[in-house]
Amino acid sequence: MDSLLRHAWRLARKDLLVEFRSRTAILSAVVFTVLVLVVFNFGRDPTAVAAVDLAPSILWVTFTFAAMLALNRAFQLELENQALDGLLLAPVHRASIYLGKLLANLAFVAAVECVGLPLFALFFNVRVLPVLVPLAGVIALATVGFVAVGTLFSAMTARTRFAELLLPVLLLPFMIPPLIWAVLATGALLAGRPLSEIGGWLKLLAAFDLAFIVVAFLLFPATVNE
């Protein structure tokens, strides 16, 4: 168990080092975030549409895109030089590979979210600080949800034709439920509704995360074994 975590952490570090050295994906994610925020800001009529109405959807569009960027790249790294075979030959548990990828992807998306959320609060003049903790909770739970499934699927699509097209299509039905719960919860929080109201969505998100992380751990070996 201990070596499982250690190996996973090593693998995650490797991926993150590679990514942060080149910085292409994270930069495009941040640029996209800023772009979306600016466009939506100019696109709405402030007297007709309150920022708070659009805010949750805009926030989650940007986060979802960041997640897709991370996931698309997740296993691309290993395709070059058949690094995946090297990884599989190493004396690491298959589960470590999944966990390592998951951690790396989560770190990537979390980085984009840490940039995106303050920018979003700034551009839209939305009061995020009073609800920061529950909001962070919602964001964390939803992100874990779709990154968990996405990491599993990207292991499969990486070796197919049209990988970048196939991954979003496969992922769509799995991203919609956590995304909807997250958007609803975010909307409720930003509108100042009491915490008790979002309890249901938080529970759903947590249950979703738990179910799919367990399922992904169980199924990941099937995606890489010969």
Q: In this chain, which of 29, 58, 156, 158 binds another protein, going by CB under 8 A?
A: 156
CA distance 13 to 90: 16
- The distance of closest approach from Cβ of residue 68 to another protein in the complex, given in angstroms and rounded to an integer, is 15
Please identify, using beta-carbon distances, which residue of 76 and 125 lies nearer to another protein.
76
- The distance of closest approach from Cβ of residue 191 to another protein in the complex, given in angstroms and rounded to an integer, is 13
Angstrom CA distances, 129 to 76, 117, 122, 193, 198, stand at 37, 11, 11, 15, 17
CA distance 67 to 148: 11
Q: Which stretch binds another protein (CB under 8 A): 44-52, 55-63, 98-106, 150-158?
A: 150-158
CA distance 174 to 157: 15
CA distance 209 to 143: 9
Q: In this chain, which of 118, 130, 192, 200 binds another protein, going by CB under 8 A?
A: 200
- The distance of closest approach from Cβ of residue 138 to another protein in the complex, given in angstroms and rounded to an integer, is 15
Count, residues near another protein per rule CB under 8 A: 31
CA distance 36 to 50: 17
Decide: is 195 part of the binding site for another protein (CB under 8 A).
no
Decide: is 166 part of the binding site for another protein (CB under 8 A).
yes
Contact residues for another protein, defined by CB under 8 A = 149, 152-153, 156-157, 159-162, 166, 169-170, 172-174, 176-177, 180-181, 200-201, 204, 207-208, 211-212, 215, 219, 222-223, 225
